[in-house]
Amino acid sequence: MKRWCLMIALLVAGCRERPKSAGEGPYADQVAADVPLIEKALGVKFKTPPKLEIRSREQVREFLLQKLREPDVQKQITNQQETFKVLGMLPDTFHLADFFVRVLTEQIIGYYDPKTKVLYVVKDAPDDLAGITVMHELVHALQDQYMNLDSLEHITGDDDRAAAVQAVIEGQATYEQVYIMAGGSGNVAAQLPGGWESMRTTLRDAQRTQPVFSSAPMVIQETLLFPYINGAEFIRRYKALHKAQLPIDTFPVSTEQLMHDSAYFSKHPDVPSIVTLPPVASSVDQNDFGEFGTRLFLFQHTKDQDRSIRASNGWDGDRYALVKVGDTGRGLAWATVWDTPLDAAEFMSAVDDVMLKRFNVKPRITGELRHFDTAKRTVEVNVREISGRPVVLYVDVPAGASTNILDFSKVKVTPR
């Protein structure tokens, strides 16, 4: 899903607090104690001492609001909001930017800023969260000295890859934090009561105690949690298989690689195909969902987790165009590539279930074309072979509007 959601996640769920350099200030002892533990866990040392500074809650809030006011960020949030609404994943009245302001105000205690290279902490933050925050954000500070977080956070036009990269960054900070707190040796999962699954549950439960976060639609909650839960799980598996501590040159290029060992750790990694759409009239935005985003779309409407996982597992690349229809309407043309014809057929079958649950309609089938007429939306789903690969085109427009917003015959699929 969208990179801005994942940037917000960086500032929210895993952040907790503190300030001044390792040699001075009210948190000097905490920093001095954490630095060697973090260096040992990651296998590298700080090139320069970490910098920490205290800010009032209002100063932190204003900093984040300034980020939200940036034109590119506003455009990104608006496009994400409209895309999710077209797919029925957000209520029509939901305002995403307002939610981000409220959730940040609710949760933010501290954050590491890659631009200034400073860890900022809210003044008078609760002492019981201090240790967790300092440790988590110091991991980000150390990461930044070896992999330039600022540049990694500005991947554009490929939200699936951005989500995978962000999950590695945030997942490592989360995992190493748990690793150190568990004693800094051996198998972390074995040292946790209930194993690693208990940690996944704990991370979820911790966020759901926050009223604003818990009131958010499912797609927003899951997108914000993904870097921490799935990212930490990836790092756990990575460290079990690799001697290197920082996967600087081996970032997953998709959420598929992040979630599936066979897609990333094998001798021949499963790299997604590149999908190129032809020119689309009145296009507002182009991007991708990835396997994780595809899974969320299916689960949003079917509420069947196993089915959603199975129907998205054969994903091999995608691209969508958000399109202006009329004065205020929005449409979506979404092309997905699948590993096999069976995978494509399973996805289309799952879309049938989505339409039944979302609109209570069944498809009108003409050859490979599946047509859904509803009072609010018109949806068509088609499949054809392109460059030897099965490709499904999903088109969703306001009821009565033409579904011919993209020429399916001109979609290109190129192996990476």
Query: Per residue in 88-137, pLDDT tens?
Result: 999 999 999 999 888 877 767 788 889 899 998 888 877 767 678 888 99
Are 281 and 401 in the same domain?
yes
List residues bridging with 286 in a β-sheet.
321
Residues 126-159 pLDDT 10s: 776 767 888 899 999 999 999 888 888 788 889 9
- Last-in-domain residue among 264, 283, 303: 264
Does the residue 378 lie in any domain? yes
Instruction: Indicate whether 352 pLDDT > 50.
Output: yes
> Is residue 25 scored above 70 in pLDDT?
no
Q: Are residues 192 and 285 in the same domain?
A: no
Does 401 reside within a domain? Answer: yes
Does 206 share its domain with 331? no
- Report the pLDDT value the prediction gives residue 107, as an integer from 0 to 100: 67
- Quick one: average pLDDT of 291-311? 98
Within a domain: 352: yes
For residues 233 and 282, membership in a common domain is answered with no
Q: Which residue has the higher pLDDT, 219 or 153?
A: 219
For residues 341 and 363, membership in a common domain is answered with: yes
Residues 242 and 349 in one domain: no
117-153 per-residue burial string, b: 16 or more CB within 10 A, e: under 16: ebbbbbeebeeebbbbbbbbbbbbbbbbeebebeebb
Asked if residue 1 has pLDDT above 50, the reply is: no
Q: Do 182 and 120 lie in a common domain? A: yes
Is residue 249 a part of any domain in this protein? yes
Higher pLDDT, 291 or 108: 291
- In this predicted structure, which of 37-51, 105-119, 286-300, 389-403 has the lowest mean pLDDT? 105-119
At 18 the pLDDT is 36
Within this chain, do residues 212 and 347 fall inside the same structural domain, yes or no? no
| pLDDT tier at 193, thresholds 50, 70, 90 | low
CATH number for the domain harbouring residue 361? 2.60.120
The rounded mean pLDDT for the chain is 87
Are residues 224 and 183 both part of a single domain? Answer: yes
Decide if 269 is inside a domain.
no
Residue 19 pLDDT greater than 80, yes or no: no
> Looking at residue 245, what is its pLDDT?
60
What pLDDT does residue 26 have?
64
Rounded Cα distance between 48 and 39, Å, is 12
Is 313 contained in some domain?
yes
Q: Residue 399 domain-assigned?
A: yes
Whether 243 has a pLDDT exceeding 70, the answer reads no
Do 286 and 389 sit in the same domain of this protein? yes
Report for 151-165, 204-218, 274-288: range of highest mean pLDDT: 274-288
- 260 and 216 in a common domain: yes
Q: What's the total number of domains in the chain?
A: 2
Structure tokens at 123: 């003044």
Domain membership of residue 362 as a residue range: 274-414
Single pTM value for the model: 0.90
CA distance 145 to 168: 15
Q: Which of 264, 295, 329 is the last residue of a domain?
A: 264
- Residues 3, 73, 177: CA angle, nearest 5 degrees: 45
- CA 74 to CA 67: how far, in whole Å? 9
220-245 b/e (C-beta count within 10 Å ≥ 16 → b): bbbbbbbbbbbbbbbbbebbeeeeeb
Read off the pLDDT of each residue in 233-261 and give the average, rounded to a whole number: 84
Select from 264, 284, 317 the last residue of a domain: 264
Burial of 337 (C-beta count, 10 Å sphere; 0-12/13-18/19+): buried
Angle at Cα 203 formed by Cα 260 and Cα 119, nearest 5°?
100
Q: Is the pLDDT of residue 327 over 80?
A: yes
| Better-scored residue on pLDDT, 403 or 152 | 403
Over range 261-266, report the average pLDDT: 93
Residue 112's closest CA among 32, 186, 31, 39? 31
Same domain, 89 and 165: yes
Residues of the chain with pLDDT > 90: what percent? 61
